[in-house]
């Protein structure tokens, strides 16, 4: 593989934790997608791991080529986009179904070959789900091409027609909100219904079933399993706020959403082609959330199998997470000792994927190679240290003290009413997202975790500021105007 060292590179995403199971196969698959999908393949997709934190990067010219191509195809190939989302949902369901089967298997009794077969089967479905998210990821994550375009389009319609009822942020929020309920919303509705059970014995029994069904919700990549006491406390909070009225309000909001969307489309006289693009955006948001939930559920179900691989290969669970399928094959079928390799990969490693192949580097060789790569720093474009802008993900207005949180270990800083500022949120820090009065991120687009969860929680949210974690510090008093996409430091 001849890497383009002379070209500038760009960081697509910074994760405070990732592993090879989540990244490598999907990254490789995105460089060799089936022609039937109708989209161009990427090249030179790369990942860097530093003490399990992860940076995803790509040559800048390649990013520009792909993001512009995928954005153009929103207008040229809407049917291809609709098919991508239809297939994402199909494979997410298959992934959930297959993972649930694995959860019931006694992995101790499986042969080494059978362990590998299950590992590969789950990986295939994960890639089917993960890779189909890549197109909107490229459009949105760095430069928010679709979000910017749709906000501008809506503002033009509002100005031309002299509309006072809706801001562009509010219209955008309505038109891109999925009409299908997410798993998070399904869990919340189910919990409210349990709160309505008057008989204490029946209520406790129902809650225990509920806790077992949804204990994986914050599993993410680091494996947090919610215990029964978590759901007991959640139920107590629900019972304090008249659950019957809460459920009625939630149901009425969902029923009213399609009508409200039609009202906005009619009021702003949205062109049919743009109606289709809003539908694509809406489906992308739903599929991103549902697809990631399916993946995280699969990792929850996969844990027992990974532990068994580790037991047989004398590796910890975390060490197994930094092995590829080929590595697992060597460990189980050829008795290779991969403990040192895995530790080195966690500490510092790189991998590059191109045309369906992946090459791996770790230790000094990886660091030497990394020095050859020069990066574009988009954050240098921002010079104002008192105010910054991004894209509204959920409209609203809030004031509060900044708390910069990127990892679960930092969550102790957060108090009710603080403003959460993060590189990019993930399931591991959902507890502080619930406490936050508003959410601000450096990176992300309309399908990012912060955008999706802020809609669920109805919290003002601004994404894609590029530099919020650099400009602000813990304790800063800020004003978050998610109607205009502006965060301002107050004196």
Residues 203-233: pLDDT tens digits? 999 999 999 999 999 999 988 999 999 999 9
Residues 26-41 pLDDT 10s = 999 999 999 999 999 9
- Answer whether residue 166 shows pLDDT above 90: yes
Query: 150: closest CA among 13, 291, 264?
Result: 264
* Per-residue confidence (pLDDT) for residue 378, from 0 to 100: 73
Residue 381 has pLDDT above 70, yes or no: no
Q: How many domains is the chain partitioned into structurally?
A: 3
Digit-coded pLDDT (tens) for 382-434: 656 788 999 999 999 999 999 999 988 899 999 999 999 999 898 888 989 99
pLDDT in tens, 451-466: 999 998 999 999 989 8
In this prediction, residue 443 has a pLDDT band, given cuts at 50, 70 and 90, of confident
Q: CATH no. for residue 391? A: 3.50.30.10
Which of 267, 301, 331 corresponds to the end of one domain? 267
Is 474:411 a contact under the CB 8 Å cutoff? no
Q: How confident is the model at residue 110 (pLDDT cuts 50, 70, 90)?
A: very high
| Token pair listed for 301 | 């179900």
- Whether the per-residue pLDDT at 120 is higher than 80: the answer is yes
User: In the prediction, which pLDDT does 382 show?
Assistant: 62
Assign 3-state DSSP to the chain and report helix, strand, coil percentages, each to 5: 60, 15, 25
User: Domain range for residue 238?
Assistant: 164-267
- Same-domain check for residues 168 and 119: no
Q: Average pLDDT, whole number, for the chain? A: 95
Q: Which of 326, 489, 294, 309 is nearest to 401 (CA)?
A: 489
Question: Per the domain annotation, does 275 fall within a domain?
Answer: no
Distance, C-alpha 203 to centroid of its chain: 33
* pLDDT score recorded for residue 487: 96
pLDDT of residue 385: 74
The pLDDT value recorded for residue 377 is 82
Contact between 483 and 463 under an 8 Å Cβ cutoff? The reply is no
Question: How confident is the model over 121-126, as a mean pLDDT?
Answer: 98
Instruction: Identify whether residues 114 and 53 lie together within a single domain.
Output: yes
Report pTM. 0.93
User: Residue 179 — very low, low, confident or very high, per pLDDT cuts 50/70/90?
Assistant: very high
Query: Is 146 part of a structural domain of the chain?
Result: no
Domain boundary among 204, 236, 267: 267
Q: Judge whether 157 lies within some domain.
A: no
User: Taking 80 as the threshold, does the pLDDT of residue 46 lie above it?
Assistant: yes
pLDDT at 330: 97
- Type and span of the H or E element at 10: strand 8-15
Shared-domain flag, residues 394 and 351? no
Task: Identify whether the C-beta of residue 384 lies closer than 8 Å to the C-beta of residue 88.
Answer: no
Specify if 202 maps to a domain.
yes
**Whether the predicted pLDDT of 368 surpasses 90:** yes
Closest CA to 466 of 435, 436, 487: 487
Residues 169 and 217 in one domain: yes
């Amino acid at each position: 593989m001849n890497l383009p060292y002379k070209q500038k590179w760009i960081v697509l995403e910074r994760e405070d934790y990732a592993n090879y199971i989540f990244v490598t196969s999907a990254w490789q698959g995105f460089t060799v997608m089936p022609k039937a999908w109708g989209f161009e393949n990427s090249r030179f997709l790369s990942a860097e791991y530093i003490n399990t934190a992860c940076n995803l990067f790509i040559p800048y010219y390649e990013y520009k080529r792909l993001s512009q191509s995928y954005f153009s195809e929103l207008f040229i190939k809407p049917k291809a986009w609709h098919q991508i989302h239809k297939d994402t949902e199909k494979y997410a369901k298959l992934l959930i179904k297959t993972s649930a089967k694995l959860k019931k298997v006694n992995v101790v009794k499986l042969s080494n070959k059978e362990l590998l077969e299950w590992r590969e089967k789950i990986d295939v479905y994960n890639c089917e789900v993960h890779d189909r998210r890549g197109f909107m990821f490229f459009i949105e994550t760095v430069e928010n091409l679709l979000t910017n375009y749709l906000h501008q389009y809506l503002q033009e319609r509002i100005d031309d027609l002299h509309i006072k009822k809706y801001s562009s942020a509010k219209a955008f929020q309505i038109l891109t909100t999925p009409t299908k309920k997410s798993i998070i919303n399904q869990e919340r509705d189910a919990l409210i219904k349990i709160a309505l059970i008057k008989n204490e014995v029946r209520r406790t029994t129902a809650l225990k079933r509920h806790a077992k069904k949804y204990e994986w919700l914050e599993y993410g990549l680091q494996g947090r399993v919610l215990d029964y006491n978590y759901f007991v406390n959640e139920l107590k909070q629900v019972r304090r706020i008249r659950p019957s009225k809460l459920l009625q309000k939630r149901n009425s909001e969902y029923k009213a959403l399609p009508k409200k969307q039609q009202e906005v489309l009619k009021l702003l006289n949205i062109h049919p082609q743009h109606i289709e693009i809003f539908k694509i955006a809406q489906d992308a948001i739903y599929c991103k959330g549902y697809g990631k939930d399916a993946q995280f559920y699969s990792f929850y179900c996969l844990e027992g199998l990974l532990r068994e691989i580790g037991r047989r290969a004398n590796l910890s669970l975390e060490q197994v997470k930094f092995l590829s399928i080929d590595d697992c094959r060597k460990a189980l079928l050829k008795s290779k000792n991969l403990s040192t390799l895995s530790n080195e990969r966690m500490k510092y490693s790189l991998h590059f994927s191109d045309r369906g192949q992946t090459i791996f580097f770790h230790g000094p060789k990886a660091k030497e190679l990394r020095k050859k790569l020069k990066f574009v720093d988009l954050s240098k474009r921002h010079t104002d240290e008192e105010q910054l802008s991004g894209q509204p993900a959920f409209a609203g207005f809030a004031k509060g003290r900044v708390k910069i949180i990127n990892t679960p270990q930092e969550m102790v800083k957060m108090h009710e009413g603080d403003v959460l500022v993060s590189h990019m949120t993930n399931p591991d820090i959902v507890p502080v997202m619930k406490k936050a009065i508003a959410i601000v991120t450096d990176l992300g687009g309309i399908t990012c975790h912060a955008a999706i969860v802020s809609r669920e929680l109805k919290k003002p949210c601004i994404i894609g500021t590029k530099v919020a974690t650099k400009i602000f510090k813990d304790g800063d008093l800020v004003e978050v105007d998610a109607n205009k996409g502006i965060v301002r430091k107050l004196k």
